[in-house]
Structure 1
Amino acid sequence: MSSSDTTEPRQTPAEIQAEIDREQRQFAETLDALEEAARPGNIARRQIGKAKERGSRLVDEARALVLGGGAVRLDSRLVEPEEGSIVVKGDEEVITTYQSRGRLPPEAVVLAVGIGTVVAVGVVAWAVRRKRK
């Protein structure tokens, strides 16, 4: 018999048990992370944060379009999650880059103040008229 004919175990039972224990700990940590991510309160918090972020982004873009000043969106891209992180559907992050257009011309400011005044007077007149009826 040559030495290649004999088979020796590659790992001792203690090493196998240690590997099993490591895998079980890692599995338990993964389950805990999934449980934390799947809690309704945490999901709601993430979704509210995303809605606020999207809303503020839309407001910035609308302001830039309406006023002709403010910021202009240059680029939007998805950010890949960190390796090993747990991603729930819809958890992508969008990074948007803006560039300032500069100051508003005085005519635009006067126009915006005028429109705001007309709207405020109209709302007050409507409220007074409604109260009289």
Structure 2
Amino acid sequence: MTGHETEPRQTPAELQAEITREQRRLAETLDELSVQARPANIARRQIDRAKDRGTRIFDEARALVFGGGAVRVESRLVHPEEGSIVVKGDDKVVTTYQSRGQLPPEALILMAGVGTVVAVGVVAWAVRRRRK
């Protein structure tokens, strides 16, 4: 072994600077955690999550009923980055939608025909009921 293999790799000033940086980083992380852990912020996140779920369910129901322009293809849970701190329930769900495109003209004609038949049937039923 030579003499310089036993020498410290960092000087005391460099070690102190590294310790100071880590302390600052830890303090910032603790500040972020304290902000995330406030009851008002937790409640706000839960309300936002409920609104997002409600909106997503409403959009899907509307697409099923009215033949909206998009259909859900997949939903998956996104895991946080390695080393990040996550408060319980902060996972994100990413949903992929695909455009349905326009309906073919035959489908539009068929829907118009069915609508006309239903309308005529309702009118005929109302007239017949009125005569009795």
CA distance in 2, matches of 1:43, 1:97: 27
The alpha-carbon distance between structure 1 residues 100 and 14, as it changes in their structure 2 partners (threshold 3 A), is closer
Structure 2 residue ranges without an equivalent (≥5): 120-132
Residue 80 of structure 2: SS of its match in structure 1?
Answer: coil
Partner of residue 59, structure 1:
58
Taking the aligned partners of 2:5 and 2:81, their CA distance within structure 1 comes to 46
Task: Flag the 1:65–1:14 CA change in 2: closer, same or farther, 3 A.
Answer: same
Consecutive aligned runs of 4 or more in structure 1 exceeding 6 Å deviation: none
Deviates more, 1:43-52 or 1:76-85: 76-85
Q: Distance in 1 between matches of 2:89 and 2:14?
A: 41
- The answer to whether the Cα contact below 8 Å between 1:77 and 1:94 also exists between their aligned partners in 2 is yes
Runs of 5+ consecutive residues of structure 1 not aligned to the other structure: 115-133
Superimposed CA distance per residue, residues 7-51 of structure 1 (whole angstroms, 9 cap, x where no aligned partner)? 323332222221211111111111111111111111111111111
Give the letter for the 2:91 counterpart.
E
Partner of 1:13: 12
Secondary structure of the 1:89 match is coil
Q: How many residues align?
A: 108
SS in 2 for 1:23: helix
Contact 1:33 1:86 in 2 (8 A): no
SS in structure 2 of the partner of residue 96 of structure 1: strand
TM-score of the pair, normalised by structure 1 = 0.64
Report SS of the residue matched to 1:95.
strand
How much identity, in percent, do the aligned residues show? Answer: 67
Query: What secondary structure, in the 3-state scheme, does the structure 1 residue paired with 2:44 have?
Result: helix
Q: What value does the CA root-mean-square deviation take over the aligned residues?
A: 3.0
> In 2 relative to 1, CA 52–4 (structure 1 residues): closer, same or farther, beyond 3 Å?
same
